[in-house]
């Protein structure tokens, strides 16, 4: 049995509140971006998966194994981290570096960046905790 990428995309899109991602892009553009986020999640954030996440069909947009809901959630959290870093933290960092001291105080992008970095760190912690729980369950119970 296989797991369509779209199942993970749905979990990810339900976890974020940026409607612009869906509204401003064509379905093809959105699919390309979501696939990029998913591939980073596979390669960087969930290397510990007990299933071979590299066994996929990119044309059919499916993993060739049946992923559990827990595995899908971990992948979607990795996607969220990529989304935060590429869409908000990088843009806010560039904005802070271009503003004068007066602008900096008026708009306070530093506070905004601080909040974004906190969300980024919370998401990283959440991913680590989910993976630790996942690994523990597989070690103790052999998976669920």
Q: Identify the pLDDT of residue 59.
A: 96
* Residue 90 confidence (pLDDT) above 70: no
The Cα–Cα gap between 142 and 138 comes to 4
Count the Cβ atoms, other than its own, within 10 Å of residue 76.
23
Coil, strand or helix: which one is 112? helix
Confidence of residue 103 (pLDDT cuts 50, 70, 90): very low
Report which of 33, 123, 118, 116 is spatially closest to residue 74, judged by C-alpha positions: 123
Confidence of residue 119 (pLDDT cuts 50, 70, 90): confident
Q: Identify the pLDDT of residue 134.
A: 94
The Cα–Cα gap between 121 and 123 comes to 5
pTM of the model: 0.80
Q: Identify the pLDDT of residue 125.
A: 94
**Which tokens sit at 104?**
């900096």
Q: Identify the pLDDT of residue 113.
A: 73
The Cα–Cα gap between 72 and 100 comes to 43
pLDDT in tens, 24-77: 888 899 999 999 999 999 999 899 999 999 999 999 999 999 999 999 999 999
């Amino acid at each position: 049995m296989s797991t369509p990428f779209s199942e993970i995309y749905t979990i990810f899109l339900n976890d974020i509140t940026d409607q612009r991602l869906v509204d401003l892009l064509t379905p093809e553009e959105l699919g390309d971006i979501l696939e990029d986020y998913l591939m980073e999640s596979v390669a960087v954030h969930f290397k510990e998966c007990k299933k071979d996440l590299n066994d996929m069909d990119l044309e059919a947009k499916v993993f060739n194994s049946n992923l559990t809901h827990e595995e899908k959630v971990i992948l979607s959290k990795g996607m969220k981290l990529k989304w935060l870093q590429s869409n908000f933290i990088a843009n806010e960092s560039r904005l802070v570096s271009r503003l004068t001291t007066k602008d900096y105080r008026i708009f306070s992008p530093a506070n905004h960046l601080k909040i974004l970095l906190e969300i980024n760190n919370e998401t990283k912690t959440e991913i680590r905790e989910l993976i630790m729980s996942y690994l523990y369950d597989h070690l103790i119970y052999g998976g669920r």
